[in-house]
Amino acid sequence: NAGVTQTPKFQVLKTGQSMTLQCAQDMNHNSMYWYRQDPGMGLRLIYYSASEGTTDKGEVPNGYNVSRLNKREFSLRLESAAPSQTSVYFCASSGRTGNNQPQHFGDGTRLSIL
Q: Under the rule (CB under 8 A), what is the footprint of other proteins?
A: 4, 31, 40-45, 48, 50, 58, 90, 92, 94, 97-108
Shortest distance, CB of residue 85 to other proteins, whole angstroms? Answer: 19
User: In b/e form, how buried is each residue of 23-38, taking b as 16+ CB within 10 angstroms?
Assistant: bbbeeebbbbbbbbee
Report the largest interatomic distance among the alpha carbons of the chain, rounded to a whole angstrom.
41
8 A C-beta contact, residue 65 and residue 79? yes
Instruction: Tell me whether residue 54 or residue 80 sits nearer to other proteins (CB atom).
Output: 54
Shortest distance, CB of residue 25 to other proteins, whole angstroms? Answer: 12
Shortest distance, CB of residue 16 to other proteins, whole angstroms? Answer: 28
